[in-house]
Chain A
């Protein structure tokens, strides 16, 4: 199982814009959620961890203690002799090392449309260094079964729906039985049924590896992760358990029932329920005393709204 440690990680793009600002984050084994609005720096963080993008400064250590009994032979071939990897993001060697133990599903997962699912997985397996043809094909069939695509595996990928492509994405990420699985916005654009199916699949995968799930859909994190981190404008504004996160918003979530008018105050309305002559508002913040607000138990979504409201970052930092 793999633990990832990041210290004072910075990524500055051209023009002095900070995509990540002094991020100190520890990601333990299991499912870990990375939450934040669009533009928060999630994808940059994912790309740095995947060895695609170099951090401007800071250190990343990825320690991997593999359990040999669950390794497939194919995996053993590709990572033999490595029972601990320290990934230094500043070196080509470090980035190459982490790629051997990584499964990655990008946000914008493109496929080669004229290949069918089997061919696509075989091609990626070859690029991942799985040399033995028989083992490779066995692994592909097993993964097609896991993602329930065996029946359509001979269809060209251009005929696949968004959900099916995502499932192929997960299958390719698992080809080398990775100790670290990074999935970036995996449920974006999926219908509710596909989303639930995908979440369950990720949860199962998180049992015996580190799975980093990046999303701006709070529900996905709430249903799958015990620990999470929240990014805003490149700053890490929270890391800890989901329970600890919800404690942050304790006493800040209220329900106000009115005769229809919208209540005013220093708060954010997270839900509105119209019930004939009255309306019920779920708010996060500080309602005025005369509003007759009733306290409510915070959900992770309320907590997220609270964190976004209260953790005011000074806009995206920049150097010039």
Chain B
């Protein structure tokens, strides 16, 4: 039954959830190949490929989660079933995050092997295996952060476009004003893309762990928000 349930949830979230990360990584691989042929600086190519894992995939995951959570065609029916909707929502989020993680892990193996991985200064002296494994926090931390933020925002505002706009806005602010996040003490725990934008920082590891903590706080908040059935029914027609 678990497998059938899983299969149906996959059908409900849609094929695009599976295809977009694959297509995205395919495009970045192609771009990297073109840049290599054009003899672009190795560091720039590494930055592009690291960005695909650290900046692009997490944002896509956040947007997908916000879309899936903020709209369920059969939400009112779901809320009357013995199986609780909040678990269904978590399963769908897990599906998205899990698939993103598979794509990111698979891609990171190739990127690391081809020596296009931007290694944070804090890990540069480590041995290969721990360096590779801890280096996965490059994408794990922002991925979980965006997924949890998307979950929380979708339940809070009940609008996929508004939630998406907020996530997109955060991404742009982080990408443009990254210097402030690298220098101002209280902004450091919120620096989402240090591996791509400032790998030389000396707080890379605490930053990654801090982001995971924030993601956990978002998840707990989202979980509590998912108890509010009246809010979940917003947008479903019905009288007062």
Contact = CB atoms under 8 A, between A and B. Distances in A.
Interface stretch (B70-78, B188-196, B200-208, B216-224): B70-78
Interface in A81-132: 96, 99-100, 102, 104, 106-115, 119, 122-124, 126-129, 131
Given A128-B82, A129-B83, A110 B1 contact: no
Interface string B127-162: 000000000000000000000000000000000000
Interface in B58-86: 72-83
A127 B81 contact: yes
A133 B74 contact: no
A115 B8 contact: yes
A111 B73 contact: yes
Given A42-B239, A96-B82, A110-B77, A52 B11 contact: no
B18 interface: no
A129 B233 contact: no
A122 B77 contact: no
B238 A112 contact: no
Contact of B83 (A43, A109, A112, A128): A128
Interface stretch (A33-41, A146-154, A271-279): A33-41
B78 A127 contact: yes
A133 B3 CA distance: 12
A51 interface: yes
B74 A43 contact: no
Contact of B8 (A54, A104, A122): A122
A172 interface: yes
B238 A104 contact: no
Contact of B233 (A17, A52, A78): A52
A190 interface: no
A201 B197 CA distance: 64
Interface string A27-59: 000000000001111111001001111100000
Interface string B17-39: 00000000000000000000000
Contact of A126 (B5, B76, B230): B5
Contacts of A40: 239
Given A39-B239, A39-B240, A115 B12 contact: yes
Interface centre among B1, B11, B12, B81 (most CB of A within 10 A): B81
A129 B8 CA distance: 15
B237 interface: yes
Given A52-B229, A110-B76, A78 B240 contact: no
A221 interface: no
B230 A128 contact: no
Interface residues of B, number: 28
Contact of B75 (A78, A110, A129): A110
Contacts of B98: none
B74 A110 contact: yes
Most buried by A among B1, B79, B80, B233: B80
A19 interface: yes
Q: Report the interface size class on chain A.
A: 35 or more
A133 B1 contact: yes
A55 B240 CA distance: 13
Interface string A237-275: 000000000000000000000000000000000000000
Contacts of A115: 8, 11-12
A251 B176 CA distance: 78
A17 B230 CA distance: 15
Contacts of A127: 5, 78, 81-83, 88
A104 B81 CA distance: 9
B94 interface: no
A52 B14 CA distance: 27
Given A52-B233, A127-B88, A78 B77 contact: no
Contacts of A100: 82
B239 A51 contact: no
Contact of A52 (B4, B12, B80, B239): B80
Nearest to B15: A114
Contact of B14 (A114, A126, A184): A114
Contacts of A54: 229
Contacts of B8: 115, 119, 122-123, 126
B114 interface: no
Interface of B: 1, 4-5, 8, 11-12, 14, 72-83, 88, 229-230, 233, 236-240
14 contacts: A19-B240, A52-B80, A52-B229, A53-B233, A99-B81, A100-B82, A108-B236, A111-B73, A115-B12, A119-B8, A123-B12, A124-B81, A127-B78, A184-B238
Which 10 pairs, one residue from A and one from B, show the smallest C-beta to C-beta distance? A110-B73, A106-B76, A43-B238, A127-B83, A104-B80, A123-B8, A19-B240, A110-B74, A108-B237, A127-B81
Given A102-B80, A115-B11, 19 more contacts: A19-B240, A39-B239, A50-B80, A51-B80, A52-B76, A52-B79, A52-B80, A104-B80, A106-B80, A108-B76, A110-B236, A114-B14, A122-B4, A124-B77, A127-B81, A128-B82, A128-B83, A129-B82, A133-B1
